[in-house]
Structure formats: C-alpha cells, structure tokens
Amino acid sequence: MSRPLRALIGPSILNSDLSKLYEESQKLLDNGADYLHLDVMDGHFVPNLTFGHPVVKCLRSKIKEAFFETHMMVSNPEQWIAPMADAGVDQYTFHIEPVPDIEKVCRKIKESGMKVGLALKPGTPLSDVEKYISIADMVLIMTVEPGFGGQKFMENQMPKVQWLREHYPSLNIEVDGGVGPSTIECCAKAGANMIVSGTAVIGAQDQAATIKLLRDTVQKSIQ
C-alpha cells in the first residue's frame, strides 16, 4: 500500500439499538464515521450469536456508499465469503485461529472482490500471522477477547501493534475492544490507524465530537 496512512474510525454497530439498525448506522456515518464495523458471530467460535449476510445485505440496500467491514468471529470463515461478497461487503476480516489454510481463504476473499483483514485474539502470537501479512490489506489486533462488548481494554496487546507498525509502515492496523477517549492515546502511539469503537461512540452524548477526538488523536500520531 503506497498511499499515506489515514486515521479511520469504524464504530461497531453491535452496541446500537439493533431494532433500528439502519437509522443507527446512518447516524454514525452522518456523525463522521469512516466505515462501519459489522460483528458477525456464529455462536461457535465465540459463544454469542449476532447476524449474518441477510442483515448485511438489507443494510447495504439502504446505505449505498459506506465502507462495510465484516469482522467474522466464526469457525468456518470460508463458508461465508460468497454470501458476504454478494451482500456488498468491502472488507472481510476473519480470525486466523480456526483456519487450517489461511492463504486459501485470503485468495478466495480477494477473488470475490473484497479486501482481506486478518484478526488475532489476544492470546495469538504475531508469529502465527507474519507470513500472511503480505497478502492482507489489514491486520486486526483484538484488545479484548472476541465475542462480548463492554470489556476492559488490554494494554498488553500494544507491543503487537508497535511491532507491526515498525515492520510494515504502510499497513492498515486495526484495534478493537475497549477503545475510547481514555485509551485512544495508547493505541495511536503504538501505531494503530483503524479504530473500532463500540460503547464509547454509540453511548456518547455527542457522537460526532467523540469520533473527531478519536480521529484527531490518531492523525496526530501518524503525522
């Protein structure tokens, strides 16, 4: 990626009122969100169950332009590539832990026209993902255990972000979990440029101001 890095804020819509998914998503975009982070859980890889491609497709039918990233917390990510591509997803981010052939899944995602994101649970070492970074568009470092909202931010994951930024200066690096105004400085200094924030943005009295604060903090570190 030769383009300069940008600070990108992608609220996780899981914490919003899911009975008003379109309205809540549109509100986030109107308040300055750069993309929407859609958490897909299968009740197997993680204990919770959320929504699948029919909901994403329905959302895409109303929101034409926004960048959609699906965070696939699923045991068999290969199974959902075609349906999610059909639903209009831009970036397909999957967890590497349950996948026997990561390269094959990456290739199928690219062939379907989506970007590739590789996600790591807090306990997964960077050595597990290192040889696939060159074929990915983004690496997601989880700063909580995947599957539940509202957990405490794990600062001990920042060395992973730092190492990635040092070795891959132009890579999009995303953090997800417990990220908000009180923890953004730490993420920005480590080198994350894609910020997923659920509770802190959704529950903010002023969503636009919170999104701006997050973006400005990251942009400052990039510069």
In angstroms, what CA-CA distances link 139 with 2, 46, 89?
Answer: 16, 19, 17
Q: Is 124 annotated for ligand binding?
A: no
Q: Is 39 annotated among the ligand-binding residues?
A: yes
Residue 169, C-beta contacts closer than 8 angstroms, at least 6 positions apart: none
Catalytic (active site) residue 176: yes
3-class DSSP state of 48 = coil
* DSSP helix/strand/coil, 119: strand
Q: Is 199 annotated as a binding residue?
A: yes
- Which one of the listed residues 42, 90, 137, 176 is annotated catalytic? 176
25 marked among binding-site residues: no
**How many C-beta neighbours within 10 Å does residue 175 have?**
31
34 catalytically annotated: no
Answer yes or no: is 32 a known binding residue: no
Which residues lie below 8 Å from residue 46, measured CB to CB, with a gap of 6+?
73, 146, 147, 148
Half-sphere exposure of 20 toward its Cβ, with a 13 Å CA cutoff?
Answer: 8
52 labelled as ligand-binding?
no
Catalytic residue among 39, 42, 90, 137: 39
12 labelled ligand-binding: yes
The answer on whether 177 is annotated among ligand-binding residues is no
Instruction: Give the C-alpha separation, 122 to 141, whole Å.
Output: 7
149 marked ligand binding residue: yes
**In 3D, which of 23, 66, 21 has the Cα closest to residue 39?**
21
Residues in the annotated binding site for substrate: 12, 71, 147-150, 178, 198-199
Catalytic residues: 39, 176
